[in-house]
Amino acid sequence: MNSKLFSQAMNQIDSKYIQEALLYQGKTKKPLWLKWSAAAACLAITIFAIVAVLPQKEPETSPKLPQLSISEHTSDGMGFEGYMAYKASELTNANPWNESLELSALPVYQNSLTYDADGISGDIDFDRMREVLLETAGRLGLDTKALTITDDTPDEKTKQEIREKFQATGDTVPEGYFNPTKLTAKAGGVEIEVGADLTASIFFEPAVSLPQEYNFTNYASYEDLAAAAEYLKTKYKDVIGFDKPRVNISGGDYTNDGRQGYSLEFFNAEGSAAQQIVNYNLSRVAFSCDDNGKLSLMRIYRPDLSRKAGDYPIITSSQARELLANGSYITSVPYEMPGLEYVKKTELVYRTGSLEAYYMPYYCFYVELPQEEQEKKENGLKTYSAYYVPAVDNAYISNMPAWDGSFN
């Protein structure tokens, strides 16, 4: 009998034509060494024997919670998720989750969009997309009644060019390939675009300069970006729309030439710890600059969360580490997880890719890759990559992932 069974006994327990490349951490107690008396040791041996003989009872599940399926191949064709840094502590964000939180459950939402083998969805809600576009325009102070809203249906010339490209490879254009997937409106120096996932993108044309005292560039320091964030939070308060906006400066990884960069977002810090975790992952507003340090883009992420599957029991990060060690993870990394000694950071996140069947919590383990060490030896940078283990109790998962040597 292994230690796990013994413990259980003791406790009784963004362009449609390429689909934008197919569309872009419960309190863990530290182990305690216990000093057993002779009597306790005898009791442990007795329980050992009983558990070895009696059949193990399967964990009970709530009949009200449906089984969840883990989506495969959800890397969206973007290559493996890796971050270069000198040490894992440089990789930072404002994730409200931490290991001291005592969370027993977290919500799971079904993705309202589904895609066929050709990356085409038949579930697009254009009425809701139009509502999001008009709401965004209103927050920008635009006259919503004067807006002309168009979609991305290609003209006949473009359609023919696409048909010819398919024919050149012996294929035909899939049914529904030319169906619209975005709505767009232009006015007052901005272009608003809303996609099928209800993400609203605001393109500033021309890009907007910040006051001279702010450094809002692609490689601005953390401190400079934090200062710029305070300005943007005030300037675009109505567009952000959160009652309690909290800045999330994330990143800290390096480029091959040694430049360190961060991203700037806001999320709503209202509500319980669980609600803040949901907000951090699923309801965000991001700001981006152009090469000249001017504001060129805002993105408002607000996926459809109307299809709530339920509040699901979650496991602890230490339980997730056991699953990680056993290969029960998904990753876009082309290497098998090298061992728990290489895990340098853990957090709880929601995977929110467009191809996910469910928006559900996962433990994300940042693993140092020894396979990449030789390549980065000259500049001292290490590669940390993400391995994901479902945070939902596996009794509710119909197809627990298992590493098979392929990208996922």
The answer to the question of residue 68 being in a domain is: yes
Summarize pLDDT for 292-330 with one digit per residue, the tens: 999 999 999 999 999 999 999 999 999 999 999 999 999
Average pLDDT rounded to a whole number, residues 214-229: 97
The pLDDT mean for the chain works out to: 84
The 8-class DSSP code of residue 382 comes to E
Confidence category of residue 61, pLDDT binned at 50, 70, 90: low
> What's the pLDDT at 84?
94
Please state, in angstroms and rounded to a whole number, the distance separating the CA atoms of residues 391 and 389: 6
The answer to the question of residue 253 being in a domain is: yes
Q: How many domains does the chain have?
A: 2
Among 257, 278, 301, give the residue marking a domain's end.
Answer: 301
The answer to the question of residue 313 being in a domain is: yes
The answer to the question of residue 165 being in a domain is: yes
Confidence category of residue 75, pLDDT binned at 50, 70, 90: low
Confidence category of residue 38, pLDDT binned at 50, 70, 90: very low
> What's the pLDDT at 62?
63
Helix (H) or strand (E) holding 167: helix 156-168
Average pLDDT rounded to a whole number, residues 119-134: 94
DSSP characters over 15-67 = -GGGHHHH------PPP------HHHHHHHHHHHHHHHHSPPPPPP--TTS--
The answer to the question of residue 91 being in a domain is: yes
Among 251, 282, 301, give the residue marking a domain's end.
Answer: 301
The answer to the question of residue 348 being in a domain is: yes
The answer to the question of residue 151 being in a domain is: yes
Confidence category of residue 46, pLDDT binned at 50, 70, 90: very low
Average pLDDT rounded to a whole number, residues 380-384: 92
Among 275, 301, 327, give the residue marking a domain's end.
Answer: 301
**Same domain, yes or no: 243 and 195:** yes
Which sign, positive or negative, has the C-alpha torsion 85, 269, 215, 137?
Answer: positive
Angle at 301 between CA 295 and CA 307, to 5 degrees: 175
| pTM exceeds cut of 0.85 | no
**Same domain, yes or no: 146 and 228:** yes
Give CB contacts under 8 A, 24+ apart, made by 138-146. 139/238, 139/239, 139/241, 140/188, 140/190, 140/192, 140/202, 140/238, 140/239, 141/188, 141/238, 142/187, 142/188, 142/190, 143/187, 146/187
Please state, in angstroms and rounded to a whole number, the distance separating the CA atoms of residues 19 and 21: 5
**Same domain, yes or no: 241 and 101:** no
The answer to the question of residue 107 being in a domain is: yes
Summarize pLDDT for 244-302 with one digit per residue, the tens: 999 999 999 999 888 999 999 999 999 999 999 999 999 999 999 999 999 999 999 99
Segments forming the whole domain that contains residue 195:
126-301
What token pair was written down for 154?
Answer: 């290609």
Contact 277, 106 (CB under 8 A): yes
